[in-house]
Structure formats: C-alpha cells, structure tokens
Amino acid sequence: MSAEGTTGDEAHQAPVTGWGTFEAKGLGTLWLAWTEVGLLELSFERLNSALADPQPVPAVYSEPLRRYFDGEPEDFAEVPLDLRGTEFQLRVWNALRAIPWGQVRTYGGVAQAVSSPRAMRAVGQANHVNPIPIVVPCHRVVEAGHHLGGYGGGLERKQLLLELEGVRFHEGVVQPGQMELF
C-alpha cells in the first residue's frame, strides 16, 4: 500500500509486525505501531498492541521524527504509511500531508481541497480519528477565526507542534502570514 492508504473494507490488511516508543523533545513518549506495509499508528498514549515486547523503532520512522523534533523542516513524504479509513478520511489525511511545514489551513480550506466544500465538520472528525498524528499533520488545521480549534492530543500539544514549526501566536490566535485560505 502507498501512503494513500486503504479503506476499511480491504479483506487482507497487514497485521501489526512491531511496536515501540520514540522520545519526542517537549512531548514525551510517542507510541508507534507498524506493519510490513508501513506506519499504522502513532499515539500520545500507550497502544493496545498484541505484541508482547516493544522493539526498536525502525530508522525509516525514527529518523524523520528525530529531524522533526530537532526543528528541521520534515514533510514525512518518504515515510511508508499503512493508512486505514473511509474514502473520505483518506482524502482528508492525504490533503493534510500536502500542508507545508510551518503553515496552517482552516477546516473549510481542507474541505475545499477534498472537493467537499461544506464538509468542515467531517474534516474535523477525520482529523480527530487520524491514526498517525504529526506524520499526517492534523495539528496544522485551525478554525476559521485562526483559533487553534480542537486536537485529539490536547491543545497544548497542538500549539507546541505548531510553534516548533515556527507558527506564531498572539493570545491563542495564529498570526497572519502563515495561512492560506481557499
């Protein structure tokens, strides 16, 4: 599978082949699970993995994460993913991957990008269930008023991730010049 992912209807989804942890500067421990296809899950909370023992995180996942948390622009384009979701979720997650480092989009802007201009709430829901935050950068989506909006990992983490990328805030609002409105 490519980074474009598969729908939940796929009969033969690759099983989890490994899981491990990554220490993220400023965020603490990230939990990762992967298959032979690619990264399946990244979580701020412990994963419920069927595998008993953690393994070293493969360099194909850990090196881009290290660069990212060192403050180097990283688009994660070379990270193989095993994205699983509905057709709409996959379209949203792929649109998120197109948002450049240090920039944000609105929920409405992402809805436009996936040819569903009235689906702002559905975009928010797809962000909420994103199985691979950071790599699929749902933290780069903000409300129309440039406020942070929601984030499954907590608003403090969302702001920290955006600040790591150089996004500037004033009283919780993204400052102009870092946003493209569709």
DSSP string, 146-177: SB----TT-HHHHHHHHHHTT--EETTEEPTT
Q: What is the pLDDT of residue 9?
A: 52
Q: What is the pLDDT of residue 89?
A: 98
pLDDT, tens digit (0-9, with 9 covering 90-100), for 171-182:
888 886 655 544
Residue 48 reports pLDDT greater than 90: no
For range 34-54, the mean pLDDT: 86
CA 120 to chain centre: 17
100 is catalytic: no
Which of the following is catalytic: 32, 138, 161, 174?
A: 138
Angle at 134 between CA 132 and CA 139, to 5 degrees: 110
Q: What is the pLDDT of residue 49?
A: 63
Amino acid at 50: A
Percentage of the residues of the chain whose pLDDT score is greater than 90:
73
> Distance (Å, rounded) from C-alpha 75 to C-alpha 125?
23
Q: What is the pLDDT of residue 3?
A: 54
Q: What is the pLDDT of residue 182?
A: 44
pLDDT, tens digit (0-9, with 9 covering 90-100), for 114-137:
999 999 999 999 999 999 999 999
Q: What is the pLDDT of residue 173?
A: 87
Q: What is the pLDDT of residue 179?
A: 55
pLDDT, tens digit (0-9, with 9 covering 90-100), for 157-169:
999 999 999 999 9
pLDDT, tens digit (0-9, with 9 covering 90-100), for 78-103:
999 999 999 999 999 999 999 999 99
Residue 139 reports pLDDT greater than 50: yes
